[in-house]
Chains A and B, each alone.
Chain A
């Protein structure tokens, strides 16, 4: 079976964000990029599935040439092939979804994994969009995944609980933390990944459905009040919460 895993190259979560001079994107200077954390779970699940049922795993990433670093990490973990959908444009979510779906279709993949959310734009809807475009089943936010023949049993986290879902291939699964423990790349894997050729394809879709007017920093909060340094400050804190903030 052909399995696709979609991966994104994102600023490390410890990054301080500054706005670039265009007022529409972040300043990339001194920003450390990493594999989107949730995509690591997606890679692991794709590899585990391949180990169980056979086939091959193809990683796809859409973005600039630097996204190859993330693809190479996937190759080092054991992914068979990698494709960069190259664009320097800032595409909106639906435009990205269309480009990914087109590539998944041309790869003829029946099963697609990706992180439940990319920690840059935090939309958490890419899997759902891709599934809708392809007409595939979707399990978003999965914390467990079992494939038997064409049948999928998965669990996903919802607000205040979890759901067990029965569905079938073809499907898109988006990975939540807890799905698995991502493996480390072996030295052999890292060496092998260096030699692999990452296929590059230019993204044709350039129509955006959403325009960014401006990007800005959130308003800074006024400094708060240190009420005290020990338990004796508790009555005053409770008074402030009741009378000033009126939140309890």
Chain B
């Protein structure tokens, strides 16, 4: 049974990730149920509004700080994270299942020689154990799993757990200045795709598929996405055709996403694609073919021509 929860708070550019708020909130709920202590750790240099994490139920956060930690480095961050988790003797550790989470959680699991369950979509307390739901085969099946080690690490799929509204509570922030940083893995450059939201982190996704016929027709997908503040996604067919980058691909060989709203435009809904997006909260399908499998998972559909429906939808949203 867990006595000491540790939540890893992820920052990029000094901003705390939304998925970390989700982990804080879920962690605080579970810790309460298990009557366990909880605290958080964040690694970086200048980080804004750290006391705000108190609003998600965790009232103590330690900031491991050094100017050389401004950019993420797997060697530096893992080493510090492991050291901290061992110092406080954390026995239940939660992280967001991001690229960073998937780098440093395994390093800690090896050091603690403990069970690691990644990409969880539910964590429940059963008596004194935590049962995790972990999708497999890109969501075509779900497994219920538990660790059988005294310590456990879980990573939480972004956008699945709700952070909700934060309360006015403020966390105590303890700054620990770090003397030496292990940069054997050194990020020398970070390039952001300008003005672009990543599908794995977006609340709304507008995706286009083969039925759009050409790269230039994604213009209307981008326009609709801009109107909704959404990220743009694509089916494998659209990526394989070279119309969109692979980073946009949703599905079994792309990204698994769970936004609040997923709009599939001219996507028929191959099983690989459905696997990657069927856990979205609401799904809208727009496709000429009324028999397309995408309608089988859609909450709302328009069985019509995307080239007519999408411009009309953009106009309607502008009203």
Q: Do A and B bind each other?
A: yes
Interface residues of A (CB under 8 A from B): 11, 13-17, 19, 24, 26, 37-38, 92-94, 97, 119-125, 128-129, 132-133, 137-141, 156-168, 176-178, 208-218, 221, 223-231, 233-235, 237-238, 240-241, 245, 247-248
A221 and B185 form a contact (CB under 8 A): no
| Interface of chain B, main secondary structure | mixed
Give the distance in Å from the alpha carbon of A225 to the alpha carbon of B282 in the complex.
12
Contact A167 B186 (CB under 8 A): yes
Contacts of A238 in B (CB 8 A): 313, 316-317
The 7 A-B residue pairs with the shortest CB-CB distance, nearest first, are: A231-B312, A128-B106, A132-B110, A164-B189, A161-B192, A17-B140, A160-B198
| A217 partner, pick from B119, B142, B300, B309, beta carbons under 8 A | B142
In the bound complex, how far is the Cα of B185 from the Cα of A138, in angstroms?
8
Stretch at the interface among B32-40, B172-180, B291-299: B291-299
Q: Which residues from B are CB-within-8-Å of A176?
A: 246
B301 touches A224 (CB 8 A): yes
Tally of B interface residues using CB under 8 Å: 92
A13 CA to B114 CA, complexed, in Å: 30
Contacts of A139 in B (CB 8 A): 185
- Provide the bound-state CA to CA distance between A230 and B282, in Å: 20
B148 lies within 8 A of A210 (CB): yes
Complex Cα gap A125–B146 (Å): 18
B102 within 8 A of A: yes
Q: Taking chain A's interface residues, is the majority helix, strand, or loop, or is none over half, making it mixed? A: mixed
Please determine whether A16 and B271 come into contact, CB atoms closer than 8 angstroms.
yes
Flag if A165 contacts B119 (CB, 8 Å): no
Q: For residue B184, which residues in chain A have a CB less than 8 angstroms away from its CB?
A: 137, 167-168
Closest CB-CB distance, A40 to chain B, in whole Å? 11
Measured between beta carbons, the chain B residues less than 8 angstroms from A224 are 283, 285, 295, 297-301
Bound-state CA distance A119–B114 (Å) is 23
Q: Does B127 contact A (CB under 8 A)?
A: no
B302 touches A233 (CB 8 A): yes
Q: Is B6 an interface residue (CB 8 A)?
A: no
Residues of B within 8 A of A217 (CB): 140-142
How far, in angstroms, from A14 to B275 measured CA to CA in the complex?
A: 10
